[in-house]
Amino acid sequence: MADITAPAYRIIPIIPALIPDAMAGKGPYVANDKINEAIGFPGQLVEDWHDRAIAKMGELLSKYRSLKVFMDACVHCGACSDKCHYFIGTQDPKNMPVARQDLMRSVYRRYFTLPGKWFPKLVGARDLTREVLDEWHNYFYQCSECRRCSVFCPYGIDTAEVTMAAREILDSVGYGQKYSNEIIGKVHKIGNNLGLPGPALIDTLEGLEEDVKEATGIDVRFPIDVKGAEVLLITPSADFFAEPHIDSLIGYAKVFHATGTSWTLSSMSSEAGNFGMFIGNYDQLRKIAMRIRQAALELGVKRIVVGECGHAWRVAYSFWNTLTGVGDGADANDKFAQMLQKQLDHRYKQPMHICEFTWDMIEDERLSFDKSLNDKHIITFHDSCNVARGSRMGNLPGGQFEIPRNIIKAVANNFVEMSPNTTHERTFCCGGGGGLLTDDLLELRVKGALPRMEVLQQAVDEHGVNFMATICAICKAQFTKIMPIYGFDRRMVGGVHQLVSNAIILGDKK
C-alpha cells in the first residue's frame, strides 16, 4: 500500500481527459462463504447466476420506482459526466455517473425493452455475461453513493439508487463485497460495526469518564443501558475508540452534562451506521435499524438523538420512520409505529441530530463557551454527502448546512468557507463513503479525495486553514488516512463536537 501516491492537483480545475480502464480490476475483495452465509446470502457465485440476476433485476424494477424511471429516463446528455469525484480522480470513463449507470442500463435494455431485444447494438444493449458481472462488481464498488450526480441531472437520476440495486443483485447471486457484508454480520451478532462487545464498551466509557475528569475536574458521565433516561444516543461505533471521533463523543457528553439532560447509550444497539443502505438491501437496512427501535422500547426513552455520522443520519432522518416508526405522524391504526411513537416526546423532532440538539441548546442560552479556546484553529467545514443531499436538520430546507456552521461560529472565532462549488449541496464526497472505507480500495480512496484536497489546499494557502470540521465518522476516518498522503497533518480533521468540547464551559453557568 505504501506505493500509493496522491494524484497531482489540477492547476485550473479542468475536466480531465479519459483514461479507459484506468481502474479496471481495482475493485474490492469478494466476500467469502462465511461472511455471506452469516447474513443470508449465497456463499459464493451460484451456478445459475445469470437467470437469478435477471430475475432479481426484474423484481427490483417492480419494487422501486426510482430504478424503473432512472433506467428509462437517461438521455446521455452528459450533465453528470464530470461531477463524480472518482471520475475526476481516476479519469476512468466508467466512473462517470452516466457510464456507471449504463453498466446496468445496457443489461436492462437487453432484457426488459423491445429495442434492446431486437436491435441490441443500436441502443447499446448487452447480454449479462460473466465479464459484465465482473465489471459490475468492480465499478459499482467504486461509487460512494454520494448523490452528487443527482443534483445536476435534469431528471434527478441518482446513481446511488442504481449502485444500490446492482449491489443487491450481486449479493443475491453470492458475489458481494467483503468489507460491507462482514460489517453487517458484526452488527447483527454484536450490535456494532466494529464488533466491540458490551463489556469492552462499558470499559471504554469508564476510561473516558476518568479522562474527562482528569482534563476538566468535572464528573461528566457516559451512561449506558440506563432505563428511563430521557435521551437515547445512537452514534457511530467509531466514536467509542477511533481518533478523532472520540473527541466528538466527549463533546456530546459535555453538552448533555452542561444542559442537565439525562441520557444513555445502549450496549445492544451501539451503532448508528447502517451498511444495509450501502448494499441496497431493504431487509438488512430494516433489520439493522430495528435494533434502535428495540433499544428505545426497552429503555423507555423519550427522545432519540443521533451522533456525527453522515449515512447514519440519512438513514435516521429519511428512513427510520419508514423502517421502524422512529418519527412522528403514524396512522392511528398503525400499531407497529404507534407503539413507539406514543412513547416518544413529540415536542422534539424524532429522531434528532446531535447538532440540532446542541444548536437548540445554544439558542436557548443553556450553553456557554469560551471561544478563545478554539483560537488556535482556523476552521473550515466539509459538508458530508449524505447529510447534505440525503437529509435535513431544523425546520427549513438547507438547515443541514446552516446548523453545523452556526455551532462552529458559536464556539470558535475563525471560520472560513471552501470554494462554493464544493460545499453545501455541491459538496464532494470524502472518497471513502458508501462502503468503500476499506484498505483494498485505498488507491480509489486516495484518488477520489482529489477534488476535496484541491480546495482544502486552496483554503490553506489563502486563509491558513488548519482544521477541517466534519460530522461524519467515515469522513473522519477517510481523511485521517489519506490526508497524510496529500501532505496534510492528519490531526487537521475533526468533528464539530470536538470544537464544542474544546470551548464549552462546564459546571455553573457564568
Partner 1 sequence: MNLMIAILFYLATLFFVVGLFHRIRVYASTPAPLKIPTTPAPTTTGGVVLRMTREVVFFESLFKANLWTWAMGWMFHAGMALVLMRHLRYFTEPVWGWVVLIQPFGIYAGIAMLIGLCGLWTRRLFVERIRYISTPSDHLMLLLLIGIVSSGLLMQFFVHTDVIAVKNYFQGLLNFNIQPLPVDITLALHLLSVVMLLVIFPISKLLHAPGVFFSPTRNQTDNPRENRHLSTWAAKLESEK
Q: Is the four-CA dihedral 23, 454, 383, 262 of positive or negative sign?
A: positive
Is 332 a residue that touches partner 1 (CB under 8 A)? no
Shortest distance (Å) from residue 71 CB to partner 1: 9
Contact, 239 vs 246, CB < 8 A? yes
Show contacts with partner 1 in window 376-395 (CB under 8 A): 388-392
Q: Which of 325, 432, 434, 495 binds partner 1 (CB under 8 A)?
A: 325
Shortest distance (Å) from residue 443 CB to partner 1: 22
Is 142 a residue that touches partner 1 (CB under 8 A)? no
Show contacts with partner 1 in window 81-120 (CB under 8 A): 81-83, 93, 96, 98-99, 102, 113-115
**Integer angstrom CA distances of residue 341 from 302, 345, 347:** 9, 8, 12
| Contact map string, positions 270 to 309, toward partner 1, x by CB under 8 A | ------------xx--x-----------------------
73-79 long-range Cβ contacts below 8 angstroms, 24+ apart:
73/155, 73/157, 74/98, 74/101, 74/102, 74/105, 74/155, 74/157, 77/154, 79/152, 79/153, 79/154
Shortest distance (Å) from residue 160 CB to partner 1: 8
Is 400 a residue that touches partner 1 (CB under 8 A)? yes
Q: Give strand pairing partners of 470.
A: 495
Using the minimum distance from each CB to partner 1, give the nearer residue, 330 or 460: 330
Is 32 a residue that touches partner 1 (CB under 8 A)? no
Using the minimum distance from each CB to partner 1, give the nearer residue, 31 or 80: 80
Show contacts with partner 1 in window 434-463 (CB under 8 A): none
Shortest distance (Å) from residue 103 CB to partner 1: 11
Q: Running DSSP on this structure, what letter comes out for residue 467? A: E
Sole window of 145-153, 172-180, 406-414, 443-451 interacting with partner 1 (rule: CB under 8 A) = 145-153
Q: Which of 37, 72, 243, 443 binds partner 1 (CB under 8 A)?
A: 72
| Cis, peptide link before residue 420, omega less than 30° from 0 | no
Q: Which of 34, 213, 336, 372 binds partner 1 (CB under 8 A)?
A: 336
Pairwise CA distance, residues 344 & 334, whole Å: 15
Q: Which of 138, 142, 150, 498 binds partner 1 (CB under 8 A)?
A: 150
325-329 long-range Cβ contacts below 8 angstroms, 24+ apart:
325/293, 326/289, 326/292, 326/293, 326/296, 326/350, 326/351, 327/351
Show contacts with partner 1 in window 118-137 (CB under 8 A): 121-124
Pairwise CA distance, residues 223 & 201, whole Å: 11
C-alpha cell at 5: 501516491
Using the minimum distance from each CB to partner 1, give the nearer residue, 98 or 292: 98
What is the CA angle 146-500-430, rounded to 5?
20
Using the minimum distance from each CB to partner 1, give the nearer residue, 30 or 88: 88
Pairwise CA distance, residues 402 & 327, whole Å: 22
Is 311 a residue that touches partner 1 (CB under 8 A)? no
Using the minimum distance from each CB to partner 1, give the nearer residue, 20 or 207: 20
First to last CA, the chain: 52
Using the minimum distance from each CB to partner 1, give the nearer residue, 344 or 453: 344
Using the minimum distance from each CB to partner 1, give the nearer residue, 35 or 71: 71
Q: Running DSSP on this structure, what letter comes out for residue 317? A: I
Pairwise CA distance, residues 157 & 74, whole Å: 7
Using the minimum distance from each CB to partner 1, give the nearer residue, 56 or 83: 83
Q: Which of 89, 276, 310, 327 binds partner 1 (CB under 8 A)?
A: 327
Shortest distance (Å) from residue 396 CB to partner 1: 8
Using the minimum distance from each CB to partner 1, give the nearer residue, 78 or 207: 78
Q: Which of 179, 87, 9 is closest to 448 using CA atoms?
A: 87
Q: Which of 169, 239, 181 is closest to 208 using CA atoms?
A: 239
**Integer angstrom CA distances of residue 150 from 248, 267, 285, 425:** 31, 37, 22, 10
